[in-house]
Structures are given as C-alpha cells and as structure tokens.
Amino acid sequence: MVVSAAEMLQKAREGKYAVAQININNLEWAKSVLQVVEELQSPIILGVSEGAGKYMAGYKTIVGMVNGMLEEMKISVPVALHLDHGSYEHCYKCIDAGFKSVMFDGSQYPIEENIAKTKELVEVCHSKGISLEAEVGAIGGEEDGVVGMGECADPKECKMIADLGIDFLAAGIGNIHGKYPANWPGLRFDILENIKKEVGDMPLVLHGGTGIPADMIQTAISLGVAKINVNTECQLVFAEATRKYIEAGKDLEGKGFDPRKLLAPGAEAIKAKVKEKLTLFGSVGKA
C-alpha cells in the first residue's frame, strides 16, 4: 500500500539526502520507476499532476493501478503517491481516492487566503494520516497550463505557512519547471538559507529538478532540501528512445508495432534516468 511521505522526508533531511519525486504519466512510467527503486532499495514519491490524473482516467484509477503494482511486483520500499501542484478542489479528490500525500499549491492566492486553505487542509490530511506539501513563491515555467515566472519566496511567508503544521514546504528559489534557458542565473542559495533559518527542521522541496547542475543539487540538499521533483527529463528520454525505435524502422519488423515492444525502449530510458537521479540525490540504499 502507498504511504505518507512525511516519515521518509524527515529521514532524508536528517540523513542529508533527498527523496526523488518522479512524476508518472502512464503504466510504463509507474512500472519503470518501481522496478528501479526496488532494485536500488530507495524510497520514492510518485507524483501525479492534475493533467496526468485526467489522462490516466482519474485518481481512483491511479490508486488502483499503483497499489496493484506494489502487491504484484512485491515492492518492499516506501512508496508515496502524491498530488503535484494540486488545487484546493483536487486535493480533496485525491484524499477521497486514497492518496496518502498531496500538495496544495495556493501560491496564486493572497497569503491570507493561502494560509486559511492550507490550515484547513492540514487538519483534514493529518486526521487521515496523509502528508501535506504547500508552496510559497511561484515556481517558474509551465505546469498544466499554470505559468510561474520563478518568483523567489519570502522567508517570513514561508514561516507563516510552515507554522500551520504542513509536512514539507516548496519554496521558490529561482527554480523553474521544464528546460532551463541558457541565461538562467541559477538557484538563490542566499534565499534558501534564510528560509531554512525561518522554518527550522521543516523538509524543503525543490521543484523543477530537470537540468539543475549536480553541484547545485548537492548544495540545496545540504541546506535542507529533502525532496526533489523530476518530470521533464524522463519525458525527454522517453521521447528520444521511442523516436529512435521508429526512425530505425523497428516498428515495421515482425510485431514491432506491438505497444509492449514499441514502448519498451522508452521504459528502459526512464529506468536509466531514474537510477541517475536516485544516485545523485543520495537515496540509494536508504529504504
């Protein structure tokens, strides 16, 4: 069964490593990630955006699929199923569907409304053993149609949200979703340090993990980041491997058109990318 992410992230923060959130988009995605984390004995968070939830026929479908995989594949490591950038309404949909972790992204609201909604969700989630992530400062880039310019979070606002009792906090420090532009100035570690001073031992979350240099990742972890989200990189390598398979004409050889064969190279590419990330984040062997 899926579990809350709270305990695994507290362990990560104390152990100076980060747990990866790998967003899933279909069965191949989930299966590939679970195979890797079982092999490497790493905890994992499977992220689901609202768009991916709709694509996969709803949150109850996803819960059934993931729980089925955990049982059939005999997965022994901690696995959290987590709503990524959830609206107020979709947090409740995921809670009802059986998710054990949700993110409420109230960053578009005035801070007072963000606080009120977050406080309500803290009470609901914790009464059901569900972990809650909240956000301060919009993460740059585009996520399911929501565009953020990469505003850096106000450390004082971070403390206000953290004090509500959330389990982990996403704070914008110049990170963005998707590919990073050539002129990206990098992460604002000065702001991250100030946020850490305000929120203490609260595990911090780094969104937009695709393309951040390894040295910046390591510095972020040393400053309290315990969860790093990865999505775009897996999509890129999946697309590249699938394209090469078709361009090589392998879909025209025998039963190469069978989706189980057609999607296999992409699934292997995801596995390789996830192994790379788990190693970089330091979570291998930490299950």
Q: Where in the sequence numbering do the catalytic residues fall? A: 84
Report the amino acid identity of residue 238. F
d(CA 259, CA 242): 11
3-state class of 47 per DSSP?
Answer: strand
> Please, what is the Cα angle at 59 between 209 and 258, to 5 degrees?
80
d(CA 218, CA 189): 12
d(CA 20, CA 35): 14
CB 136 within 8 A of CB 168: no
CB 225 within 8 A of CB 20: no
Residues 6+ apart with CB under 8 A from 81: 2, 45, 46, 48, 62, 63, 66, 99, 100, 101
What token pair was written down for 196? 């850490």
45 - beta bridge partners? 21, 80
Q: Strand pairing of 141-143 and 101-104? A: unpaired
